[in-house]
């Protein structure tokens, strides 16, 4: 079964909490348990030292140095022992060594019972052979413990301590004249440590449950905040797939989901624009083709009705058919060029090009067709060559000059000005002194089939593709094209081309 994103986020939150709490719990509880056990061992060793010196004065105990024991444990043990009303000799005064065999066992048995009960510790004093001389519980007197692990180590002169999970035990060698005189063997239940650890584990488990609950709630809220916009995006994407490009999703946040929503809205906006361009394109192409086709059809019908017998009329009608056919061919070629540009398949043949010479050639070619419009080229000194396709640049200049000539009054000059541009470019400007273009129409210039003056453009045979083709070709060369115009004063179309290396 595949989990959705919301459940995956939720489970990931819970898994992190379980892992973090489990790992930290194991480490912390293990540390605390070890700490409590070591503290209990130190306390028991201190009790063993004080107990042995109390019951068997003058003996020395091997093991942890007295100064290494915690002061608190010593103070507590001393106070507990003093409450027993036992005689404790001053350890700083010289005393004759006493061995366990020299002790008054009946007196010490009673004292060890009181001391063990007060300290909640079982006290056993062993002789040098491991035989129990004293037992605060009076259970093992006379037994030989020499084979048990802790007494065996103490009988060998080494301090020993261990626990079995229930009881902490320490065994300290007792020395007299640097000879083993016996063993102080103490054991204390770990009830308090076990109770504390049980309480800590319960509290830690409760804290883990609370953390899981909080994390689960947070995970649900967070995953919901993440997946809700995704569900909206999924729904909107389904609508777009069904052909509804008017759908939008709210994009109020500034995070990745907000950026994704804004990107989606931008995409749908572009899709709407592309679809509208497609609809307009089909309508414009249909309209542009219908006009010459209607003229051709009407001319053919006229010829069939008998005009073909009139040589003058026949020649005139055939010229009309040829003109309209040429117009359709130009339209198709223009559309084919734009299609190639859209698919990045123009296959430009770039070369080092003298743009001034090409501009002069273009003007010479157009001069025969625009005798009422003076054409002039102005070239700045030291104009560098450009890196461009000669045929495509000739097409750009032809389209721009053709537009300028169409919209210029008779006798008004059209000028091409060439000069070095910014950032290793050449700036070309085609200017006329025509009627100009309204400011509100400037942003739409360069769109396919757009005409600022639709009636006049169509009457002059324009399709609204000339400027669009010029812009497409200039941008394909890595340049820019823009239009500046003032109504009543004229229009200037500027473009840049990269300088040849």
Domain 351-498 class? alpha beta
Going residue by residue through the chain, which has 501 residues, state the pLDDT in tens, using 9 for 90 and above. 556 777 877 788 788 888 888 888 899 999 999 999 998 888 888 888 877 777 666 666 666 654 444 443 444 444 444 444 443 333 344 444 445 555 445 555 566 566 666 667 888 889 889 998 888 887 888 899 999 999 999 998 889 999 888 999 999 998 877 788 888 899 988 888 899 999 999 999 998 889 888 888 888 888 777 778 888 888 888 988 888 888 888 887 787 888 888 898 899 888 888 888 777 767 767 766 777 788 888 888 887 877 777 777 778 888 888 888 887 887 787 777 777 777 676 788 899 999 999 999 988 888 776 677 788 899 999 899 999 999 889 989 988 888 888 888 888 889 999 999 888 999 999 998 888 888 777 776 766 666 655 544 444 445 567 788 888 889 989 999 999 988 888 899 999 999 988
- Write out 135-194 in H/E/C secondary structure: ECCCCCCCCECCCCHHHHHHHCCCCEEEECCCEEEEEEEEEECCEEEEEEEEEEECHHHH
Domain chopping of the chain, boundaries: 1-64+105-240, 257-343, 351-498
Closest CA to 124 of 56, 63, 176, 42: 56
Question: Residues 475, 480, 481, 485: what is their CA dihedral angle, to the nearest 10 degrees?
Answer: 160
Write the class of the CATH domain 257-343.
Answer: mainly alpha
pLDDT the model gives residue 77:
45
Locate 262 and state its tokens: 């804004």
- How many C-beta atoms surround the C-beta of residue 136 within 10 A? 23
Domain range 1-64+105-240, CATH class: alpha beta
Q: Are 405 and 413 in contact (CB under 8 A)?
A: no
Domains 1-64+105-240 and 257-343 share a fold: no
Residues 160 and 150 sit within 8 Å (Cβ to Cβ): yes
Asked if 96 and 170 count as a contact pair (C-beta separation under 8 A), the reply is no
- The C-alpha atoms of residue 44 and residue 464 are separated, in whole angstroms, by 104
Confidence (pLDDT) at 270: 87
| DSSP notation for 341-352 | HHTT-----EEE
Confidence at residue 419, expressed as pLDDT on a 0 to 100 scale: 93
């Amino acid at each position: 079964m595949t989990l959705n994103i919301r459940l995956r986020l939720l489970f990931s939150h819970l898994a992190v909490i379980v892992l973090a709490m489990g790992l930290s719990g194991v480490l912390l509880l293990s540390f605390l348990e070890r700490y409590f056990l070591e503290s209990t061992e130190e306390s028991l060793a201190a009790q063993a030292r004080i107990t042995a010196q109390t019951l068997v004065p003058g003996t020395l105990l091997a093991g942890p140095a007295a100064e290494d024991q915690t002061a608190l444990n010593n103070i507590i043990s001393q106070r507990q022992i003093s409450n027993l009303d036992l005689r404790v000799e001053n350890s700083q005064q010289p005393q004759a060594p006493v061995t366990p065999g020299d002790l008054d066992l009946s007196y010490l048995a009673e004292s060890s019972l009181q001391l063990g009960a007060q300290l909640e510790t079982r006290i056993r004093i062993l002789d040098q052979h491991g035989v129990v001389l004293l037992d605060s519980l009076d259970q093992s007197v006379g037994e030989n413990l020499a084979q048990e692990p802790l007494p065996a180590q103490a009988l060998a002169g080494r301090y020993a301590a261990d626990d079995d999970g229930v009881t902490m035990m320490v065994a300290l060698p007792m020395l007299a004249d640097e000879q083993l005189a016996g063993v102080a063997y103490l054991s204390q239940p770990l009830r308090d440590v076990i109770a504390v650890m049980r309480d800590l584990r319960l509290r830690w488990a409760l804290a883990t449950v609370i953390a899981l609950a909080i994390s689960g709630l947070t995970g649900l809220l967070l995953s919901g905040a993440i997946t809700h916009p995704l569900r909206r995006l999924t729904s909107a994407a389904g609508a777009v797939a069904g052909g509804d490009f008017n759908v939008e999703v709210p994009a109020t946040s500034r995070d990745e989901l907000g950026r994704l929503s804004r990107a989606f809205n931008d995409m749908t906006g572009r899709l709407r624009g592309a679809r509208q361009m497609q609809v307009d394109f089909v309508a414009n192409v249909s309209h542009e083709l219908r006009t010459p086709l209607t003229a051709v059809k009407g001319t053919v019908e006229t010829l069939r009705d008998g005009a073909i017998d009139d040589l003058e009329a026949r020649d005139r009608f055939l010229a009309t058919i040829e003109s309209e056919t040429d117009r359709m061919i130009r339209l198709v070629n223009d559309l084919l060029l734009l299609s190639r540009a859209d698919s990045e398949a123009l296959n430009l043949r770039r070369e080092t090009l003298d743009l001034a010479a090409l501009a002069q050639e273009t003007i010479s070619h157009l001069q025969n067709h625009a005798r009422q419009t003076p054409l002039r080229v102005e070239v700045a000194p030291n104009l560098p060559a450009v890196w461009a396709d000669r045929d495509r640049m000739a097409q750009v200049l032809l389209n721009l000059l053709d537009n300028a000539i169409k919209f210029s009054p008779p006798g008004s000059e059209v000028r091409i000005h060439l000069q070095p541009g910014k950032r290793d470019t050449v700036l070309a400007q085609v200017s006329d002194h025509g009627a100009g273009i309204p400011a509100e129409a400037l942003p739409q210039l360069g769109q396919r089939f757009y005409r600022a003056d639709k009636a006049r453009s169509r009457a002059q045979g324009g399709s609204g593709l000339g400027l669009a083709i010029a812009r497409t070709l200039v941008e394909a060369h890595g340049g820019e094209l823009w239009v500046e115009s003032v109504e009543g004063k004229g229009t200037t179309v500027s473009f840049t081309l990269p300088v040849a290396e």
